[in-house]
Structure 1
């Protein structure tokens, strides 16, 4: 993935859309070396290299609302290995929209 980012994907039973975006290479390696999971907020806050595409944020929001589940698991694919990165909730999506999608509801 460009810019040394790691693509984060939804791999739950509800679909396989790419959801969140990218985290920076250094942040990822730091977490990977400490063998800790990133929290969703780490991915979406100031530490990531790209803004999530609005279409994927909205797709994730629709899926969460339609399926009526609380959260979707997100997974980083790193050199073919899947690493759990936490969960995406509607609150997280609200925060992303506030920060990056001009506060639309």
Structure 2
């Protein structure tokens, strides 16, 4: 079975099969945003649900501001509940500890 390719929005990467994972090393917060903003924009434009789990060096307000500048119809995507920006501590350290079963169950919802 052939998996259709999807636009990653990341110019050097191009298209990849859905579900592909890759690692990105960056030096500055601007390097990180330069990669992630086009990635999330492409996902939203492809009608995919997007969840951005934010940790340092970025904050949730910074991510929302950057998305607002990069994604012309962001307000509509937010209204449609097509995107969430979540704090990494809330996602991975709820209750003050890592609980892998809870984390996996939350991603399945």
Give the TM-score, by structure 1 length: 0.28
Larger Rg: 2
Greater helix share, 1 or 2? 2
Greater strand share, 1 or 2? 1
Higher relative contact order (CA 8 A, sep 6+): 1
